Structure formats: structure tokens, C-alpha cells
Amino acid sequence: MKILILLACFSAAFAQSTVIDVLTQQRDTTLLSLIESAGLTDVLKGKGPFTIFAPTNRAFSRLNSNVTAALQADKAMLAGVLKYHVVADNLRAADILINERQVTSLSNQKLRLNHYLTTGATTVNGVQVSRIDHTASNGVVHSLNGVLTPPVGTVVDVVKANPQLSTLLAAVTAAGLDGFLADQNPITVFAPTNDAFNKLGAGLVSKILADKDLLKTILTYHVTPGTLYSAGYHSAYLHTFDEADKARLHRFFVFGYEVDSASVQTTDISASNGVIHTIEDVMVPASVSDKVAALSASITTAAPTAAPTAAPTAAPTAAPTAAPST
């Protein structure tokens, strides 16, 4: 009898434990405060089901103070950001430990779920899930190490929006790859910055841009199928869209990341169809390395324009001989 009473009490307690109660138990006070400010508390206490990808207090503390102030001042914007962290479904561990799954948030925008077997990491838009499966009567809560932001568009849109990638944009356009890169889903782009192209020299860049086939080969070597966020980085060969070559991705635990000897500068720039990482060098696949070297040599060894030859100095005119005195 006592056991039945205890079970009944436990069931009643569980039935009253909504996702809001779970957040309260986890002491996610910042998220709870923002949910209340946005007027979403009663919604999330409702029938559901809801899956909340919940940024921790520490995750919110890393936000720029101007961003935090703007969200607190604009309740509609705040509600939109918070809804982006909620899915109208009960997504347990088995549902999120799947690579390349996309789900729709309450803000009607896509979230990309990745699970990397090599590192054991699970991410949402590249943000790592730190704790999973805090269950409630109307859903489940998974904790995140960061705050989610929607992508600005495709990888091409992201490149267009970044002034440090303007040379890459010109190269992609010259190669006619802008439509291809916008349509592929999902992809990872290792994007050379303007400084990376500058290292090649203006002359060599001009020659590469003028050779469309060569340009395509080099650019597709920077693109790999699938969404590889930094949480999934590991030492391995990556298949690129240049079929003749593979890029070698190395992980350096102290000095950061490197792909095919090019240092990764900025990681995890999300796009609607993948992710971009900026790199500090242009990678040249082995299949065209000799051709690029020859182009470079043709620039550096080009004969300089001959200097004009000075005209010979004319012999001085002989001075007239004075007539002898008589």
C-alpha cells in the first residue's frame, strides 16, 4: 500500500514537472528570466511537446553586452530568438544523436543537428550539447554551451556578407560556381581570406582567375561534402569536390587547427546549407601544383624590360689653330 502511495506521488510530481520546472531545477536562471520577459512561460508550461535547447547561464554571459541589451529592449526580437531554441517535438537522445538531421524550430527556422562519432560531440548549428535528456511531462531539455543564431543564408550569402572574403567571392563568380555552392546541401567550405590570396601575389592570382578550369579545380578543393563543425575536427583525410585530391585536416591541440597546411582562422560560421571556416592560405591540390608553380615561375623569372642604351659621347671639336704672328 505504501509503495502504491509513493508511486502515485512520484507520478503526480512527474506530471507537474514541465520543461519550465526542469529549467528551474537546473538553475538556468538567465534563460528562465528571458523566457518570462518574452511572455513565453505559459506557452512552455502548456501541453507541448517541446524540446528546448537551453543555453546555460555561462553561455549567455559570453554574449556581447550590446546584444543582450538589444534583446532585453525588444521583446518581439527576444521572443524570436528564444523560439529558435525550441522545437515542437519530443526529441530524446536517440533523436538528436543523428548526423545531418534538420528540425524546424518554433520560429519556423531550421536547426541543424550533428553527431560526430569520431569525437563523440553532438551539436546544434555547431554549438555543443553539454547535457542531454532532462525529461519533463511536456517534453525534454538539452543544455547548450552557446546561444543559437540563425544563419544569414547559403554559404555564398555568407561569403558575400564578409568583406574579408571579397577575393574569394570574385573567384567563385569567375569560376561560375556560385550557383553550385548555393545548391549543395550540406557542405563545408574552407574559405581563404583576402590576405590568403594576397600571399600568392596579384600576378599569380590574375593568371589563376584567367584559367577557368584551373580556378575551378583549386576552389572545389576547398569544399567537402557534409557539415564539419570544429566540434567534429579530427585528423583524417577529407573527400573534397575536387575528385583528384583529398584535403588533409589536422588538429593541433595547442596551436589551433590546420587543413592541408593552411591555418584555420575563424571556425563555425553557419550557413543554411552548411558551414564555413576561414583559412589563412589558399590550398593548391597536388593535381595542379606543377601548373601553379610554373605560372608563378613565369612571373618571377620574366625578363625585365631592357634599359635604354646611352648614346656615345661625341668627340670634342678641335679648337681652331691660331695663325702665327708675322
Q: Mind giving me the DSSP string for 241-302?
A: SSTT-EEEEEEETTTEEEETTEEEEEEEEEETTEEEEEESS----HHHHHHHHHHHHHHHTP
In this structure, the answer to whether residues 164 and 121 fall within a common structural domain is no
pLDDT at residue 240 in the model: 79
Residue 192 lies in a domain: yes
Quick one: 118 and 140 in the same domain?
A: yes
Nearest to 193 by CA among 131, 102, 262, 145: 262
Query: Is residue 164 domain-shared with residue 273, that is, in the same domain?
Result: yes
Q: Which structural domain range is residue 216 located in?
A: 155-300
Quick one: 162 and 131 in the same domain?
no
Q: Which residues pair with 105 in a beta bridge?
A: 87
261 in the same domain as 133: no
42-71 pLDDT tens trace: 999 999 999 999 999 999 999 998 998 899
Query: Could you identify the residue written with the cell 555568407?
Result: 158
Residues 87 and 183 in one domain: no
Looking at the predicted structure, is the pLDDT value of residue 308 above 70?
A: no
Calculate mean pLDDT across residues 83-103. Answer: 96
Cβ neighbours of 159 (radius 10 Å): 25
Answer with the one of 144, 172, 195 that is the final residue of a domain: 144
The conformation of residue 227, written as its DSSP 8-state character, comes to -
Q: What is the mean pLDDT of the chain?
A: 86
CA-to-CA separations, 145 to 54, 121, 128, in angstroms, rounded: 9, 12, 6
CATH number of the domain encompassing residue 122: 2.30.180.10
pLDDT at 324 > cutoff 50:
no
- The H helix count followed by the E strand count for the chain is 15, 14
Q: Are 61 and 146 in contact, with CB atoms under 8 Å apart?
A: no
Nearest CA-CA partner of 117 in 94, 93, 95, 99: 99
Distance CA 264, CA 257 (A): 5
Q: Do both 61 and 111 map to the same domain?
A: yes
Note whether 136 and 113 are same-domain residues: yes
CA distances from 182 to 110, 172, 257 (A): 16, 11, 26
Q: Confidence band (pLDDT; 50, 70, 90) for 121?
A: very high
Instruction: Give the domain-ending residue among 119, 144, 169.
Output: 144
Q: Which ranges constitute the DSSP H helices of 84-162?
A: 93-96, 155-161
The label of the residue with cell 579530427 reads: 234
Query: What domain count does the chain have?
Result: 2
